[in-house]
Structures are given as C-alpha cells and as structure tokens.
Structure 1
Amino acid sequence: MPASATDQPTSSEWYWVMTVQTADGRLNTRTATITVPAGFTRAQAWDFIFSQFKKDFGSPLTVLFFDLQPNQM
C-alpha cells in the first residue's frame, strides 16, 4: 500500500562530525545531531553546520573531515 502524504515524516534527525583547521593551524572537531525539516538538503545542512564554525573561528577555514548520517539506527 503506498504511503500517503500524512504518513511522511515532517522532520528527521541527523548525526554529524566536522573537523576544521584555522589559518593559524588550530584544529577543532565537533559532533552533534541536527533535526531538519522534510525536504532539507545535505547542502543546507552543510551550510548550517559550517556557519557555526565560521562564527566561532572566522575565515578562512579548511574542512579536514565531514560526515552526515541519519541518526536513527
């Protein structure tokens, strides 16, 4: 039986890890979950997560590692 529009989730939770390096060589790794609305793209998640690092460390930043996976097992 096909799922109806009302059966579709309105949001989903994702687990992410990102490691960045600042221009002066500092490294920072963070991990957290992000809950996003249905239709949210991977690119939008990246922009949101990376903007948090830019706010804390400024630019330029080099991303050394990034992973985004569904949090549900």
Structure 2
Amino acid sequence: MTTQTETPAAPSTTAWHWVMTVQTANGLFNTRSAVLAVPAGSTRDKAFEYVLNQFKQEYGTPITVLFFDLQPNQL
C-alpha cells in the first residue's frame, strides 16, 4: 500500500509591507505605510504604481516620491 501526500497549493497572494513619503506640488509632506496583498507573478513596479496612485488620487499631480520601501511582511 502506498501513501500519497498532497503538496499545499502555492499562495495566490503574498503580504508586503510598504512605506512611502511624498511631497505635493504645494509643499505638503506625507508618509504612510500599510500591508499590501500582492498577487503571485506581480512585480515591484506594479506595487509601486499601485501605492503611488493612491497618493495621486488624494493629492493630484505633480507629486514627488521622496522615499519608498517594500519588504515581505513575514518575519
């Protein structure tokens, strides 16, 4: 008799913690952080654009990114 073991499916998303600091056209500085669920196969660039678009929707453009960090949320 043989025993079969199932390999768990790869997660469809991975949690990443991001921090971004921006400066708006009128000189306002804003720093935020959150956890982002990134789909498998996505890129750092797509995550950056997603986060930046949140700031653009709130503050408009032009907007300057002063700092951006994206790290796995798992320790």
TM superposition score normalised by structure 2: 0.86
| Contiguous gaps of at least 5 residues in structure 1 | none
Question: Counterpart amino acid of 2:67?
Answer: F
Could you tell me which of 52, 60, 63 is aligned with 2:62? 60
Segments of 4+ in structure 1 off by > 3 A?
none
SS in 2 for 1:62: strand
Return the alpha-carbon distance in structure 2 between the equivalents of residues 51 and 68 of structure 1.
16
- Map residues 1-73 of structure 1 onto 2, 5 A cutoff: 7-73=9-75
User: How far off its partner does 1:24 sit?
Assistant: 1.0
| Contiguous gaps of at least 5 residues in structure 2 | 1-6
Aligned length in residues: 69
Percent same amino acid among aligned pairs? 55
User: How far off its partner does 1:9 sit?
Assistant: 2.0
Return the alpha-carbon distance in structure 1 between the equivalents of residues 19 and 59 of structure 2.
17
Cα root mean square deviation, aligned = 1.3
